[in-house]
């Protein structure tokens, strides 16, 4: 492989936009990127694939100045460049949209787009707000985004924030744009918008490097695919010479395990009944029932109120008038603590803000919800805790140097797995998962889906929110669709198709199947 | 994963990690070495005991402060809590209340004032800085009112044992401070309560969603800080044999300084009690040394301030480069 790479390199040296040569980067205890040599042409979309923790984000962070490589060289349009800071990268025309969003929540959209390069008045001291907002508006228009440039980031949904990041990189007029799992928080429709945009940037000669775990997207979009494993580059090839299997095989370095088709589950008693749930402006009316032993998919566009349902059921937001019955009993849930006592669990959608303690150890993060159970007179039984955490690490294939490692230093996908692990420990009666496999690689994703099936088979009721329709269709026994804060449709597994769900989510199909179980 | 890969993935122990773990100890050792060369009185047993005795008061306050700062909070009211509980106790003792009861009442006053702090912060959503600043003012005001500006002096000997007595060769204040230090270290590192403190400081939103009763925890933490302040006050008046209305003024500063020099982060979730111990000893050793070298009080303030600023810069640099 390396010899062919070298050969291609000599052949095409002049035409590369970007060359990474022998890049190595280690962190205490981890060799994250090891002697990687990789090049990209102008006007191409290069996909970067690899398992969670393979080193993709680290490599790209080196290119965008967030990290400095231990050794190696970077050439941009044939010139060697040093990129000691993100600012320098920006000046060189390299923009990166990070896996974990990096916007400032207390600032407006326009301020974030122009952060650090605000247009100034002649004197050079005051920010020219009007001009900044006008330019930001024109970028938003170009992307077809309909929120205001003066909106605060903290008031936007994750998907909208993602689009702000993209708007930012476009406004910089970059030569190289790196997108680290940009679609993991987007719905189908928003992703499509992003892909159109990426294609038109490619036409303009921009080099796009695109990290994703979604194979369909990689194959639809990219010109070439580079695959990393354990910090090394294991292959680069034209997309049309590859197929999903060959990429996955390169990623995991072995034959793919067999994944079982979804198991038929037995629908048990009623686990949860919800009547006219209402909260704030995002959730107007939802009435549905969950049964033990079934996985219910909750689909809908981003912002349609799905997350709000989860938050109200979990006591994170107030319930404004709806009725909630757990196992037949009318309950009031005022706090997450009460929800957990009633046997409800929630994997939140935003792991960084709501799920993880980034500065704390893998152990604490994975086992926090076990502390009550695994302590005596307040003293934690660390031996038992460690034993359990090790088991979860193995079950979910979490790549961590050791149990003491800070969760913030894990790769994005491994962070997500830690959040899931926490709830496996609790083993609730009702588990709500909000975008549970965001950022998780293909093989682990299938494993998590299998795990959900097993949990349901043992009698758990699972409500899964997902913006990925294939995931919804693949995992759910029943599918609910939300639109603008209301539950609009219900499909059985047999009746559901991608089209029908989309129609219900966008309002072309009204109240389908909702009276079925009344 | 195969063995060779495992090997490749482990990188060497870096200077950064070394400095982070042992940097403070190193500075402490260097300071000790320097002072013992400059002054032959520094290394004597009586001087070292003296340093320790000085360190107990600010150290005890700093223990409570460490917990508060670990939750990303701050407690500016420690000096006022110390003062109010001290003068009331002194008064009660003079009126002949049994020592045991008086001590309990003092700790109770500390706990109560801490609870008010905690409730303002957890329930009232008032920023810790503002809430405890309010308590600082109110507490001091009440102290002045209670004492009418006059000190209480002449406390019973059984009580004064807390400040002047000793067990074997070890002075009582040191025994108390050491016991408290061990107790709180155990709580922080071994118990659910301790883990929750770190988690809340790291991410309060996630803590609540993980099922932790964050409000109650916050109230507890400020109560502990209040109790620590009251305890420090008891030892102080027992040693001085008087409770002045201006007792404890400025104690928040030295406690916060010790915690921060000890490496606990203002943004919460990061730090150790051992760091606070070293921070306290470092600051007290520095004052002691400057005293021995006859440096003026005014310069002492300046030098202490510079040391704290340097410590903050040091931690920042280490944290940045280890990312
Ligand atoms: N700041 C850091 N400190 C220590 N280790 C780190 C740090 N950042 C990343 N790592 C480690 O480097 C390795 C590669 O991580 P990286 O984030 O590049 O993976 P990735 O390929 O992007 O994975 P994912 O698909 O999950 O996002 C992981 O083992 C991770 O734990
Ligand atoms: Mg990544």
Residues of B in contact with A29 (CB under 8 A): 9-11
pLDDT of B271 strictly over 70: yes
| Chain-chain contact of B198 with A372 (C-beta, under 8 angstroms) | no
- How far apart, in whole angstroms, are the C-alpha atoms of residue A398 and residue A415? 8
Is residue B24 situated within a structural domain?
no
Is residue B100 situated within a structural domain?
yes
Residues of B in contact with A356 (CB under 8 A): 203, 206
The torsion angles phi and psi of B50, rounded to 5 degrees, stand at: -60, -50
Q: Whose CA is nearest to atom 22 of ligand 1?
A: A57
- How far apart, in whole angstroms, are the C-alpha atoms of residue A453 and residue A42? 45
Mean pLDDT across the stretch B294-314? 84
- Of A441, A362, A360, the C-alpha closest to A401 is A362
Residue intervals in chain A for CATH 3.40.50.300: 1-93+174-184+213-255, 270-343+428-506
Residue A228 Cα: closest atom of ligand 1: 21
Minimum-distance CB partner of B11 among A28, A355, A368: A28
Mean pLDDT across the stretch B173-189? 96
pLDDT tens per residue, range A479-498: 999 998 999 899 998 888 88
What per-residue confidence (pLDDT) applies to A397?
A: 85
What per-residue confidence (pLDDT) applies to A260?
A: 55
Cβ pair B62, B259 in contact under 8 A: yes
Strands A18-27 and A71-76: antiparallel
Helices (H), B123-213: 128-147, 157-164, 172-190, 192-202, 204-209
Residues of A with CB under 8 A from a CB of B: 26-31, 34, 67, 230-231, 314, 316, 335-337, 339-340, 346, 348, 353-360, 364, 368-369, 371-372, 375, 378-380, 401, 422
CB of A58 closer than 6 A to ligand 1? yes
Minimum-distance CB partner of B211 among A230, A340, A354: A340
Minimum-distance CB partner of B208 among A27, A67, A336: A336
By CA distance, what is A310's nearest residue in B?
B209
Is residue B34 situated within a structural domain?
no
- How far apart, in whole angstroms, are the C-alpha atoms of residue B307 and residue B295? 16
Is residue B307 situated within a structural domain?
no
What per-residue confidence (pLDDT) applies to B3?
A: 30
Q: Find the A55 Cα to ligand 1 centroid distance in Å.
A: 6
- Which SS3 state, helix, strand or coil, does residue A513 take? coil
- Ligand lying nearest the CA atom of residue A438: 1
- How far apart, in whole angstroms, are the C-alpha atoms of residue A105 and residue B244? 48
| Chain-chain contact of A357 with B190 (C-beta, under 8 angstroms) | no
| Chain-chain contact of A359 with B191 (C-beta, under 8 angstroms) | no
Per the model's pLDDT, the better-predicted residue between B49 and B7 turns out to be B49
Confidence label for B124 from pLDDT (cuts 50, 70 and 90): very high
What per-residue confidence (pLDDT) applies to A162?
A: 78
Minimum-distance CB partner of B195 among A29, A339, A364: A364
Q: Find the A407 Cα to ligand 1 centroid distance in Å.
A: 10
pLDDT tens per residue, range B68-114: 999 999 999 999 999 999 999 999 999 999 999 999 999 999 999 99
| Chain-chain contact of B5 with A340 (C-beta, under 8 angstroms) | no
Is residue B270 situated within a structural domain?
no
What per-residue confidence (pLDDT) applies to B203?
A: 96
Q: Which residues of A155-192 are buried (b: 16+ CB within 10 A; e: fewer)?
A: ebbbbbbbbbbbbbbbbbebbbbbbbbbbbbbbbebbe
Q: Whose CA is nearest to atom 2 of ligand 1?
A: A409
| Chain-chain contact of A335 with B213 (C-beta, under 8 angstroms) | yes
- Of A166, A205, A208, the C-alpha closest to A185 is A166
CB of A406 closer than 6 A to ligand 1? no
- How far apart, in whole angstroms, are the C-alpha atoms of residue A270 and residue A228? 46
Q: Which residues of A455-474 are buried (b: 16+ CB within 10 A; e: fewer)?
A: bbeeebbbbbbbbbbebbbb
Q: Whose CA is nearest to atom 17 of ligand 1?
A: A411
What per-residue confidence (pLDDT) applies to A511?
A: 65
The torsion angles phi and psi of A436, rounded to 5 degrees, stand at: -70, -25
| Chain-chain contact of A378 with B199 (C-beta, under 8 angstroms) | no
By CA distance, what is B205's nearest residue in A?
A354
What per-residue confidence (pLDDT) applies to A18?
A: 93
Strands A486-492 and A478-483: antiparallel
- Of A134, A177, A161, the C-alpha closest to A46 is A177
What per-residue confidence (pLDDT) applies to A1?
A: 44
Residue A414 Cα: closest atom of ligand 1: 26
Assign domain A1-93+174-184+213-255 to its CATH architecture. 3-Layer(aba) Sandwich (3.40)
Residues of B in contact with A30 (CB under 8 A): 9-11
DSSP letter string, A370-382:
GTTTTEETTEE-H
| Chain-chain contact of B9 with A380 (C-beta, under 8 angstroms) | no
DSSP letter string, A53-82:
TSSHHHHHHHHTTSS--SEEEEEETTEEE-
Cβ pair A418, A393 in contact under 8 A: no
Q: Whose CA is nearest to atom 8 of ligand 1?
A: A409
Best probe of the A interface among B70, B206, B207, by most A CBs < 10 A, is B206
Q: Which residue has the tokens 């009721």?
A: A461
| Chain-chain contact of B203 with A357 (C-beta, under 8 angstroms) | yes
- How far apart, in whole angstroms, are the C-alpha atoms of residue A220 and residue A236? 17
CB of A86 closer than 6 A to ligand 1? no
- How far apart, in whole angstroms, are the C-alpha atoms of residue A423 and residue A269? 22
Q: Find the A48 Cα to ligand 2 centroid distance in Å.
A: 10
| Chain-chain contact of A30 with B10 (C-beta, under 8 angstroms) | yes
- Ligand lying nearest the CA atom of residue A67: 1
Q: Whose CA is nearest to atom 7 of ligand 1?
A: A409
Cβ pair A347, A424 in contact under 8 A: no
Residues of B with CB under 8 A from a CB of A: 1, 5, 8-11, 13-14, 16-17, 190-193, 195-196, 198-199, 202-203, 205-213, 269-270, 322-323
Minimum-distance CB partner of A29 among B11, B198, B199: B11
Q: Find the A32 Cα to ligand 1 centroid distance in Å.
A: 6
pLDDT of B238 strictly over 90: yes
- As for the ipTM of the complex, it is 0.87
- How far apart, in whole angstroms, are the C-alpha atoms of residue A318 and residue A320? 6
Is residue B128 situated within a structural domain?
yes
Two tokens, residue A231: 């910090």
Q: Which residue has the tokens 């603008």?
A: A484
A49 CA to chain B: closest CA distance, Å? 19
Low pLDDT (below 50) residues in chain A: 1-2, 7, 9-11, 13, 515-518
- How far apart, in whole angstroms, are the C-alpha atoms of residue A83 and residue A67? 9
- Pocket mutation for ligand 1, best pick of A38, A402, A409, A417 (most atoms within 8 Å of C-beta): A409
| Chain-chain contact of A355 with B206 (C-beta, under 8 angstroms) | yes
Residue A55 Cα: closest atom of ligand 1: 18
Q: Distance of CA A383 to CAs A240, A372, A390, B185, B187, Å?
A: 51, 15, 11, 19, 17
CB of A30 closer than 6 A to ligand 1? yes
What's the total number of domains in chain B? 1
Name the strand (E) or helix (H) holding B277. Answer: helix B273-292
Assign domain A270-343+428-506 to its CATH architecture. 3-Layer(aba) Sandwich (3.40)
Spacing of C-alpha A247 from chain mean position: 20
By CA distance, what is B215's nearest residue in A?
A335
Residues of A in contact with B17 (CB under 8 A): 28
CB of A415 closer than 6 A to ligand 1? no
CB of A440 closer than 6 A to ligand 1? no
- How far apart, in whole angstroms, are the C-alpha atoms of residue A483 and residue A470? 19
What per-residue confidence (pLDDT) applies to A126?
A: 64
- Pocket mutation for ligand 1, best pick of A48, A405, A410, A416 (most atoms within 8 Å of C-beta): A410
Is residue B275 situated within a structural domain?
no
Longest alpha-carbon distance in chain B: 76
Cβ pair A25, A33 in contact under 8 A: yes
The torsion angles phi and psi of A22, rounded to 5 degrees, stand at: 50, 50
Spatial CB neighbours of B28, under 8 Å, sequence gap ≥ 6 = B278, B281, B282, B285
Domain that holds residue B138: 53-249
pLDDT of B177 strictly over 60: yes
Count Cα atoms within 13 angstroms, Cβ side, for A55.
26
- Pocket mutation for ligand 1, best pick of A24, A26, A32, A406 (most atoms within 8 Å of C-beta): A32
């Amino acid at each position: 492989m390396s010899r062919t790479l070298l050969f291609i390199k000599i052949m095409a040296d002049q035409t590369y936009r970007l060359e990474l040569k022998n890049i190595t980067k280690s962190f205490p205890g981890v060799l994250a990127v090891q002697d990687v040599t990789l090049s990209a042409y102008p006007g191409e979309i290069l996909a970067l694939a690899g398992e969670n923790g393979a080193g993709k984000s680290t490599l790209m962070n080196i290119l965008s100045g967030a990290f400095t490589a231990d050794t190696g060289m970077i050439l941009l349009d044939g010139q060697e460049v040093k990129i000691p800071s993100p600012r320098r990268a920006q000046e060189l025309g390299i923009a990166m949209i990070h896996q974990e969003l990096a916007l400032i929540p207390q600032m407006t959209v326009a301020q974030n787009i122009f952060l650090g390069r605000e247009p100034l008045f002649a004197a050079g001291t005051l920010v020219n707000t009007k001009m900044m907002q006008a330019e930001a508006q024109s970028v938003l228009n170009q992307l077809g985004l309909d929120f205001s440039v003066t909106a605060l980031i903290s008031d936007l949904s994750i998907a909208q924030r993602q689009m702000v990041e993209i708007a930012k990189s476009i406004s910089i007029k970059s030569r190289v744009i790196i997108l680290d799992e940009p679609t993991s928080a987007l719905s189908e429709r928003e992703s499509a918008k992003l892909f159109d945009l990426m294609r038109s940037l490619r036409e303009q000669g921009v080099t796009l490097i695109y990290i994703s775990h979604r194979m369909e997207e990689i194959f639809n979009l990219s010109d070439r695919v580079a695959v990393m494993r354990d910090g090394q580059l294991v292959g680069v090839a034209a997309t049309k010479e590859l197929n999903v299997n060959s990429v996955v095989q390169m990623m995991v370095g072995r034959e793919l395990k067999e994944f079982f088709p979804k198991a038929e589950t037995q629908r048990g008693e009623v686990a949860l009944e919800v009547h006219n749930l209402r909260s704030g402006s995002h959730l107007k009316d939802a009435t549905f029932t969950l049964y033990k032993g079934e996985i219910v998919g909750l689909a809908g566009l981003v912002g349609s109120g799905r997350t709000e349902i989860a938050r109200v059921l979990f006591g994170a937001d107030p319930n404004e008038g709806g009725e909630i019955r757990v196992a037949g009993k009318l309950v009031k849930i005022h706090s997450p603590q009460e929800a957990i006592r009633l046997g409800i669990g929630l994997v939140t959608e935003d792991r960084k803000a709501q799920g993880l303690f980034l500065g704390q150890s893998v152990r604490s993060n994975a086992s926090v919800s076990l502390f009550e159970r695994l302590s005596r007179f307040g003293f934690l039984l660390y031996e038992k805790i460690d034993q359990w955490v090790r088991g979860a690490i193995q079950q979910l294939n979490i790549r961590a140097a050791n149990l003491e490692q800070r969760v913030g230093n894990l790769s994005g996908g491994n962070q997500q797995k830690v959040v899931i692990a926490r709830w496996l420990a609790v083993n609730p009666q009702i588990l709500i998962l909000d975008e549970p496999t965001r950022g998780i690689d293909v093989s682990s994703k299938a494993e998590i889906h299998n795990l959900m099936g097993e949990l349901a088979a043992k009698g758990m009721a699972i409500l899964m929110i997902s913006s990925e329709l294939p995931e919804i269709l693949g995992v759910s026994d029943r599918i609910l669709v939300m639109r603008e804060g209301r539950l609009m449709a219900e499909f059985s597994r047999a009746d559901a198709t991608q089209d029908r769900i989309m129609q219900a989510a966008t309002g072309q199909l009204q109240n389908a199947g909702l009276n079925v179980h009344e | 994963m195969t063995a060779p890969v495992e090997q490749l993935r482990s990188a060497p122990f870096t200077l950064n990690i070394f400095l982070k773990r042992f940097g403070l100890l190193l500075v402490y050792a260097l300071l000790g070495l320097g002072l013992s060369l400059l002054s032959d009185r520094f290394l004597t047993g009586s001087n070292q005991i003296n340093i320790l005795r000085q360190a107990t008061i600010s150290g005890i306050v700093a223990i409570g402060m460490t917990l508060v700062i670990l939750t990303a909070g701050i407690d500016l009211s420690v000096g006022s809590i110390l003062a109010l509980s001290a003068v009331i106790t002194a008064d009660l003792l003079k009126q002949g209340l049994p020592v045991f009861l008086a001590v309990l009442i003092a700790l109770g006053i500390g706990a109560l004032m801490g609870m008010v702090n905690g409730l303002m912060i957890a329930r009232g959503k008032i920023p810790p800085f503002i809430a405890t600043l309010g308590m600082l003012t109110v507490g001091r005001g009440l102290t002045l009112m209670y004492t009418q500006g006059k000190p209480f002096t002449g406390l019973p000997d059984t009580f004064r044992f807390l400040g002047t007595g000793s067990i074997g060769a070890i002075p009582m204040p040191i025994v108390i401070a050491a016991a408290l230090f061990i107790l709180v270290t155990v709580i922080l590192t071994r118990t659910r309560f301790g883990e929750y403190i770190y988690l809340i400081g790291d991410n309060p939103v996630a803590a609540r969603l993980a099922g932790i009763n964050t409000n109650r925890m916050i109230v507890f933490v400020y109560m502990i800080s209040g109790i620590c302040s009251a305890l420090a006050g008891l030892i102080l008046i027992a040693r001085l044999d008087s409770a002045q209305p201006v007792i404890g003024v400025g104690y928040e500063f030295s406690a916060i300084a010790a915690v921060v020099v000890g490496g606990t982060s203002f943004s919460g979730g990061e730090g150790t009690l051992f760091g606070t111990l070293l921070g306290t000893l470092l600051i007290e050793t520095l004052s002691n040394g400057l005293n021995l070298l006859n440096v003026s009080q005014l310069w002492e303030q300046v030098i202490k301030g510079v040391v704290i600023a340097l410590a903050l810069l040091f931690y920042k640099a280490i944290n940045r480069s280890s990312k």
